[in-house]
Structures are given as structure tokens and as C-alpha cells.
């Protein structure tokens, strides 16, 4: 099987797929309550499905009609191989798109699977600037029918996300009908600002076949936990007694800190029916599964296309260790999340991509400078009080860590203190470890990541809790 993540030369030659999207302010009522500060793409929330085939060129013309904000669109998880300027991060790869202006994104599809696109301008995407992204390509599993378009699962606030720091409501936006005996493909996307979700269908098991853009060896489970920015493709067989079943979207509880959500709203439900004419409320009961905060089991996420990581790295490992925590400095006069010694501070008028020839950097740009051209880049990111610097404070919370421009191998994911003296790289999983573009950093734990330095440019690495990212993490 070809591996599109290693070499763009394996991608087939496709066609050009062209889209036009307009972003504007609009009052929204997705849950029946008014959100006066909503934002929409082409008058809809979520935004329209953008789809292409592996090898195609995607061209998207984005026009900004927001009255008080610039904007950009980020293509989440897309490698943007040799098209760094199309990554859509204001202050990093471009200036914000001004009111009334149009910016054209153009990139080649070198991956296949499910993702989403969203504004990368502060907290715009929780207010509505987001939509599904689908790249068709080879598959490693069989099914009979696909469940309409990808399912975005999100948290929601009735005020603007710029004004509040909590979720008021959870929105899971679909019910559907199964035909007995058929196998259904469901594409799940967590597009929330601050909450992880557990997705399940009463009385049904699911087979997980991919994580983010990576096909994996299928495994069976009663539910799947999706952290912010992550995607899972699952196959559900309609083999239960025909009837009506709750579709559940639950916020994890217990220790671990899956974002900022609370459990005050309980399960948010849809309905799976075997008879489209039925109007009955289900009487089904919840499947048995753990409800604590975690990623899907590390040992279950085995990629179908194997990678073997170099056990004798020529590139540095232990100096590339970063701590997720809260800083308070005299300059910022406020608590801000960060991964380095200072929160990331962006200059929208002078994006980082225009300064790649710099030999020194303002510390507030939070630049991690690598000049490797072979092997792997190794990162260890921790969330543990014992490793935090003197200006940092630990707040118990997990962090969904997202790296732009690359898939990374997850060499270790532990809910304990990282100690380089007892955790040398040779003790990590190097033979075909899990790969993805968003990984959950456990509260009080660490993740060890490796990625190939094969896509030069300036790439953001950040926590995908929207309020953490907007404050500098």
C-alpha cells in the first residue's frame, strides 16, 4: 500500500477543485437559542463540506465580510507540503484577511481521510467559522454505506467565545436511520473549543479504522473518545434488534482534565432508528465504557503503513523538552498559557514566515529553531509541576497538542513525570508507533513525539483548547 505521508511523488495526478467561501456575521440558532455574535461560512453553520480526491489541487477563494475582525482559514492536519504559505495561520504564515478582501488558498492533496477547516484568528471558530473537509482515497476497510457527510461534534456558547470561558451547551447535530444488516461508515470530528467527547450508540459496537489522517489496524470498542481536533472513522454494523437507540455524546469526567467543560449538561443525544417512520423515544441503555479523560488506547492505534523510528538519533532529544503551564510575567500582566518560556505573541502585520532568514528572534515569538535535514525531530512535552519553570503554575488540565505541517509518531504517552535519566529514547516505542496530528497530553504526564524534517517552513505547534491557544499556548 502506498504511503502518501512520506513522499508526495506517490500521489496520483488529479484535477483542480475550486471553491468560493464568504465569512460574515450572523445571528445563529443551532440549538434553538439565539447566538447574536455568530459567524457563518456561506450563510451556514457548520460551513459547507469541502471535498477532493487524493492528488487533486484544491483552490479556495475566501472573502472576509466580518465587520470587526480579520480572518484566516486553516486546513487542519493538511501537510501543505512545500506550500507553507497556505497553512492559514495569521501572524505566522500570513497577515489576516481584511474586511472586504479575498485571499486564495491553493494546495495539493497528498493525504486522504477526514478533517475540518476553521478560522485560526483567535476565537472565531467556536463562534461558527468551521466546516468539514474530506479527501477521498484508498481504504483499508469495507462498508456498505456512508453516514451522509462527516459529523462535527462541538461545544457551544450563546454569547461570543471572545467574551466567555465556559461551555453553556453541547451540540451533537444528527440522527439517522439504519437498514438491518448493513455496515455504516461514520466520520467523527471534534471541532470544539474546550471539550473532549465520548461518542457511542446504545446497543452497538464500533470498529475504529482510522485516526486523524492515518489508517490503522481495525479494533472494536463500545465507544470512542475524541479529543479536540482529532478525527476517527468508525464502522457500525446494524446488527441489533430493530428499534430506536440513543446516540450519545458525553463529556469525560474524573481526573485528567479534558479541557474546560463541565458535566452540567449530561449526555447530549441523537436517535438511531431502524424504521424511518418511527417517532418513539428510545428506551435503550448506555453501553459499558470508561468515562475518564484519556486518548484512545495507545496500543490499539497501530498504523497500517509502518514507520520504524531511528533508535540512535543523530538529532538532539533531551534539549527539546517543553512544559505546558500558566505563566504570569510583568509584561503581560495576566495569566497566559504557554509551552516555552513565554506565551506566543504574534505580530499580524509581520508574520513569522517573512522572517525565516533571521538568526535571532524576539523571545515573545516563541520560535523553536531547527535546522535538521535528515533523521527525525524529537519533542517531549510535559504537563507536570515538577518540571515547570519558576514563572509557571500548574493547573490540572490535559492538552490536545496539534502540530501543523506534519504527522508525528507518538513514541510515548504517559500519565507520570518525565525523567530523561530513566526515559531514554531507546525505551520508547520505535517500531511502528501510533501516528497522528493531534495527541492528548495527560494532566501531570508527558508525550514524546518524533516527526520527519521534510517540510521546510514555519509551522505552529499548539494546544487546541481554543482559549489556551489564543492566550499563547
pLDDT in tens, 33-56: 788 889 999 999 999 999 999 999
Does residue 197 form part of some domain? yes
pLDDT confidence of residue 427? 84
Given 271, 305, 339, which residue is the final one in a domain? Answer: 305
Do 290 and 321 sit in the same domain of this protein? no
Do 204 and 143 sit in the same domain of this protein? yes
Do 143 and 288 sit in the same domain of this protein? yes
Do 408 and 373 sit in the same domain of this protein? yes
Q: What are the backbone dihedrals phi and psi of residue 207, each rounded to the nearest 5 degrees, phi first?
A: -105, 120
pLDDT confidence of residue 338? 43
∠ CA 274-276-280 to the nearest 5 degrees?
80
Does residue 311 form part of some domain? no
State which residues form the domain around 447: 317-471
When divided into structural domains, the chain yields a total of 3
- Those residues of the chain that have pLDDT short of 50 are 1-7, 173, 259-264, 318-319, 325-328, 330-340, 387, 472-473
pLDDT confidence of residue 333? 42
Contact (CB, 8 A) for 165 and 260: yes
Q: Among 26, 90, 7, 51, which residue's Cα sits nearest to residue 347?
A: 90
Cell output for 255: 481526573
Do 81 and 168 sit in the same domain of this protein? no
Burial 163-197 (b: 16+ CB within 10 A, else e): eeeebebbbbeeebebeeeebbbbbbbbbbbbbbb
Q: Quick check: helix, strand or coil at residue 378?
A: strand
pLDDT confidence of residue 393? 55
Does residue 355 form part of some domain? yes
Given 259, 274, 305, which residue is the final one in a domain? Answer: 305
pLDDT confidence of residue 67? 94
Given 82, 114, 137, which residue is the final one in a domain? Answer: 137
Amino acid at each position: 500500500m502506498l504511503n502518501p505521508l512520506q513522499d508526495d511523488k506517490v500521489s496520483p495526478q488529479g484535477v483542480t477543485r475550486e471553491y468560493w467561501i464568504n465569512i460574515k456575521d450572523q445571528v445563529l440558532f443551532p440549538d434553538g437559542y439565539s447566538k447574536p455574535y455568530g459567524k457563518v461560512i456561506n450563510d451556514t453553520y457548520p460551513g459547507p463540506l469541502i471535498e477532493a480526491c487524493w492528488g487533486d489541487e484544491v483552490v479556495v477563494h475566501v472573502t472576509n465580510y466580518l465587520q470587526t475582525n480579520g480572518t484566516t482559514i486553516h486546513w487542519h492536519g493538511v501537510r501543505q507540503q512545500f506550500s507553507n504559505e497556505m497553512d492559514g495561520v495569521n501572524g505566522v504564515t500570513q497577515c489576516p484577511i481584511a474586511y472586504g478582501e479575498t485571499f486564495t488558498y491553493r494546495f495539493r492533496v497528498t493525504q486522504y481521510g477526514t478533517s475540518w477547516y476553521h478560522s485560526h484568528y483567535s476565537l472565531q471558530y467556536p463562534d461558527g467559522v468551521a466546516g468539514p473537509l474530506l479527501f477521498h482515497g484508498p481504504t483499508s476497510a469495507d462498508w456498505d454505506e456512508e453516514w451522509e457527510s462527516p459529523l462535527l461534534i462541538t461545544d457551544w456558547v450563546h454569547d461570543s467565545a471572545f467574551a466567555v470561558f465556559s461551555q453553556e451547551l453541547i451540540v451533537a447535530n444528527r440522527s439517522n436511520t439504519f437498514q438491518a444488516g448493513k455496515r455504516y461508515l461514520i466520520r467523527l470530528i471534534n471541532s470544539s473549543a474546550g471539550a473532549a467527547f465520548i461518542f457511542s450508540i446504545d446497543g452497538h459496537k464500533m470498529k475504529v479504522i482510522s485516526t486523524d489522517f492515518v489508517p490503522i489496524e481495525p479494533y472494536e470498542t463500545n465507544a470512542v473518545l475524541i479529543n479536540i481536533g482529532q478525527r476517527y472513522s468508525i464502522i457500525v454494523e446494524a446488527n441489533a434488534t430493530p428499534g430506536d437507540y440513543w446516540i450519545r455524546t458525553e463529556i469525560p469526567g474524573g481526573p485528567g482534565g479534558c479541557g474546560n467543560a463541565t458535566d452540567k449538561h449530561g449526555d447530549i443525544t441523537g436517535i438511531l432508528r431502524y424504521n424511518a417512520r418511527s417517532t418513539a423515544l428510545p428506551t435503550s441503555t448506555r453501553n459499558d465504557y470508561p468515562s475518564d479523560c484519556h486518548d484512545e488506547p495507545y496500543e490499539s492505534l497501530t498504523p497500517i503503513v509502518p514507520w520504524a523510528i531511528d533508535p540512535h538519533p543523530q538529532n538532539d532529544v533531551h534539549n527539546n523538552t517543553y512544559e505546558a503551564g500558566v505563566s504570569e510575567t510583568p509584561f503581560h500582566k495576566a495569566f497566559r498559557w504557554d509551552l516555552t518560556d513565554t506565551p506566543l505573541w504574534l505580530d499580524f502585520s509581520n508574520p513569522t514566515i517573512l522572517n525565516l532568514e533571521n538568526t535571532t528572534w524576539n523571545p515573545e515569538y516563541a520560535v523553536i529553531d531547527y535546522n535538521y535535514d535528515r533523521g527525525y525531530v524529537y519533542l517531549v512535552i510535559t504537563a507536570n509541576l515538577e518540571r515547570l519553570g519558576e514563572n509557571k503554575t500548574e493547573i490540572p488540565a490535559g492538552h490536545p497538542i496539534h502540530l501543523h505541517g506534519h504527522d508525528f509518531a507518538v513514541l510515548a504517552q504517559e500519565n507520570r513525570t518525565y525523567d530523561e535519566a530513566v526515559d531514554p529514547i531507546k525505551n520508547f516505542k520505535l517500531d511502528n508507533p501510533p501516528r497522528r496530528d493531534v495527541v492528548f497530553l495527560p494532566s501531570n504526564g508527558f508525550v514524546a513525539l518524533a516527526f520527519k524534517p521534510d517540510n521546510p517552513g514555519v509551522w505552529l505547534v499548539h494546544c487546541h483548547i481554543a482559549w489556551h491557544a489564543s492566550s499563547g499556548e
